[in-house]
Amino acid sequence: MSHDEARKIRLIMSLRRGGITDSKVLGALERVPRELFVDPAFLDQAWEDRALPIAQGQTISQPFIVAFMTQALELTDRTKVLEIGTGSGYQAAVLAKVARRVYTIERHKELMTTAEERFARMKLHNIHTRIGDGWRGWPEQAPFQAIIVTAAAPHVPEALLEQLGEGGRLVIPIGRSSDLQKLVRYRRTKDGIVEEPLLDVRFVPLVPGDVKASATR
């Protein structure tokens, strides 16, 4: 067994002890090569349970947070997911191993280009990408059964709630502080939106803004 394989097994066991019980989620994290998504300078830390810096001042999330948020979405192989904040592409790759189709939006073209190369290398053909403003979501593809936001907003974007189908789940960090936010799950029921706080987290901010161009694949 290689050193990376041993570290991967330890990580998966740690996630299970930490409350990640969905076997599909654990299997996805085991199959997605995190070393493909980290900066080469941090390759030796790829299978450690910690967030790591990537380009454009962003981060690749801690594996526990990726697993926790994915589990909170309650995905099946029929779920259509919207991700706000592609970043390295790691979270989208994990989602693609569990859900039917993933739509992911990123503001930074450089990050998206690199992420798309990784998706192609992994043959993840169920991921569709767009350069754009995450606050606006992807209305042309709505409704979504699940929406995940990998950056913190001071309040939940109304456009994302509007794009959530009945019974759908939206998981997003909420808070103005850069030090601490609250991960919240919003669920659309026939009677309206139900809000459920989950745990304290730290994410980079969800920055609004128009885009110069968009592309899908």
List, by residue number, the catalytic residues.
61
Virtual torsion, Cα 22, 88, 215, 148, nearest 10 deg: 40
**Taking a C-beta distance cutoff of 8 angstroms, is the pair 124, 105 a contact?**
no
Q: Are strands 164-174 and 181-189 parallel, antiparallel or unpaired?
A: antiparallel
Measured CA to CA, the distance from residue 111 to residue 5 in angstroms comes to 27
Q: How many CA atoms lie within 13 A of 78 on its CB side?
A: 1
- Which DSSP helix (H) or strand (E) runs through 83? strand 80-84
Query: What string of DSSP letters covers 93-155?
Result: HHHHHHSSEEEEEES-HHHHHHHHHHHHHTT-TTEEEEES-GGG--GGG--EEEEEE-SBBSS
209: its two tokens = 């803004």
Measured CA to CA, the distance from residue 185 to residue 203 in angstroms comes to 16
Task: Judge if the upstream peptide bond of residue 33 is cis by omega within 30 degrees of 0.
Answer: no
